[in-house]
Amino acid sequence: MLGQITETDKLILLYQFETQGELAPESVLDISDEEARFIRTSGEYILWESGKRDFDYPEVANSHWLETTYRGQAAKLDCLQTRDAVLCPLFMSDQFHGEWHIHNGFLRMNIESPHHHIELFSVANYDSNIHSLLLFKDKQLKGSANITLMV
C-alpha cells in the first residue's frame, strides 16, 4: 500500500531499478526493515547514493521533461511555476493535470486521469539531466521510468 511505503523504501526501489535494470511491482512487498538496513549500509548503495542530489525549485519550476518507460511509452511532462503539472502522452491528444512539489529534495508529482491517480517519485542525479522515477498508479507500484530535462 502506498501510504505505508516510506521515502527510504522508495530510494531502495530506485537503487534496485538502477542497479538491476528492472523492477517488479511485488518488490515493494519484499523489503523488510532488516533488509533495508542491510542495503542502505552496503558499499554499493552508499556509492549510488553519493551520486544523487536534491531537486530544487528553480530547476523544476517552468520546466519541460520527457518521460520514457522501458515499455516504450513516452510522455511530455510540464512543471509550471504555479506547481501545476501537465502530463501529455506522446502521439495522443490527452492531457492529465495534477501538481508537483519537492519534499526533502525528492520530486513528487500527483496526476489525475479520468480513471486513475498517478504518483511519480524521483531523486536527482548529480552528473546528468536524466533522472529515474517510480510510477505508482492507484497506490500500487506500476514500474519505473526516466525523466529527461528538455533544454
Please name the residue that has the C-alpha cell 552528473.
127
The reported pTM is 0.87
Average pLDDT, the chain: 88
What gap in Å lies between CA 124 and CA 119, rounded to an integer?
A: 17
Q: Helix axis angle, 7-20 relative to 43-50, nearest 10°?
A: 100
pLDDT tens digits for range 99-138: 999 999 999 999 998 899 999 999 999 999 999 999 989 9
Domain membership of residue 95 as a residue range: 2-149
Looking up residue 30, the CATH number of its domain turns out to be: 2.40.128.120
What gap in Å lies between CA 63 and CA 115, rounded to an integer?
A: 26
Q: Which residue has the higher pLDDT, 35 or 85?
A: 85
pLDDT at 114: 86
Count of domains observed in the chain: 1
pLDDT at 97: 96
